[in-house]
Structure 1
């Protein structure tokens, strides 16, 4: 029996990575952070993987937060190191060259919401709850929560969630722009895989170009971002996928993309 905190499976170009610590509501400890980093490295390098879906085991939690039992005894230096470890992993997810979808099946609190926010897209069950409750433990978010929440939902919402520490339901999270879609819990897997399968059939190099432009370019000023987009647009014209896509359109047939 594997001691890995993750379950990994593949479905037609979609890699599903499940945080599997149900007895801890999938809380993130150091070993889980490292396992996730390794898993995303592997998914990035595997040409057969077009899209990654990230979720949590069991019906209760996506990831309920960082592992409080592990954090409680940390020194200031160890706390900083733990924060950096989490931020490195989440930056790895955010900088993936393939789309990453968070399938939020339950509580996404603290480190769990931070993990969901570093994914490119988020689909939540209508029963899910999200939040940054660190203030209730005398802590602040440490895996990027203050920064990604600010960028996704704006200053007012980021301050409210981080200062008050109260979770919000999926509908409110959708209203604030924290999640892309909310679906009935019973349909979460099917709806997420429907989107993942759609993306898995799209042109991989074009997907990567879009991710690069929005993630990398979005961290620069407008002029730099526009220049980056132009450079990526030009590069796409060197690909077989671009020629296949335009030819298929003109010939009124469905394109077949191969990532070349």
Structure 2
């Protein structure tokens, strides 16, 4: 028997060295070692509405570390398996940030085996969200660079806080990293080829208003209304018969999903070969040192 009313699912342990996103720039945050009882996700599931709200709470900036991604994928899979869960709202419990993206410390100074495991987890996060049968709404209540932007792009609809201090975009080239083809394809599917080409080559981060103009987000609302607006929005989407919406979503997204699923191992190997190059490791190391000096 399934419990009624609101449920809270606590999922954790994701040790993470994180970086902070402030005014569109990535900045290394102090190392934080969280114990195994510290939750990194809180999921509130309302049985009566069939909608779950997933709060990312991996301080300080919801960096996507290997541990966090593992817990995240488990949480999404559990919701997906519960047929009474029809909608998912993804948001942040951390102030001023949705997610600062992939944890640099899972890419710097790590073994090829660790890098491969990390990248497989990034792939899995994208696959689970992009192919989800649930209605997925990104309630973007802070900055969302790089992997945070990718996470929001997987959702069916994006609502962002109307705050000029917040930014969003795939800015990997600024760190000397290349966004893989499935990052690129996801953005092309959202904003078109030319806009994506400019954004990826220049590593652009867009203000909330500019993100709305190019279609990177679908709606801007006052910061204190992001979650409430997402709740109203998911209700409208759920008014559509599930089977019709799900089949249509699959039809639209299947070519992009198939492209990764048929090339997962090659994509992992490409990432490992790239990220473990001495030149790339040196670049990441210099970047981290620069950020540490800025902080001191």
Change (3 A) 1:78 1:215: same
Partners in 2 of 1:72 and 1:119 — Cα distance? 29
Matching residue of 1:82: 118
Partners in 1 of 2:247 and 2:147 — Cα distance? 28
Matching residue of 1:10: 45
- Name the count of aligned residue pairs: 219
Matching residue of 2:274: none
Partners in 2 of 1:2 and 1:49 — Cα distance? 26
Matching residue of 1:45: 81
- Equivalent residue runs for 1:191-210 within 5 Å: 191-210=229-248
- On the 8 A contact 2:185/2:256 being kept in 1, the answer is no
2:132 counterpart SS class: coil
| C-alpha RMSD of matched pairs (Å) | 2.3
Task: Report the Cα offset of residue 76 of structure 1.
Answer: 5.0
Offset from partner CA, 1:84-134 (integer Å, 9 cap, x none): 321122111111111111111111111100111111211111123101222
Give the structure-2-normalised TM-score. 0.68
| 1:113 maps to 2:113 | no
Task: Report the Cα offset of residue 81 of structure 1.
Answer: 4.2
Matching residue of 1:181: 219
Task: Report the Cα offset of residue 17 of structure 1.
Answer: 1.0
Unaligned 5+ segments in structure 2 are: 1-35, 259-296
1:63 counterpart SS class: coil
Partners in 2 of 1:13 and 1:67 — Cα distance? 32
1:21 counterpart SS class: coil
Choose between structure 1 and 2: higher helix proportion. 1
Partners in 2 of 1:198 and 1:125 — Cα distance? 20
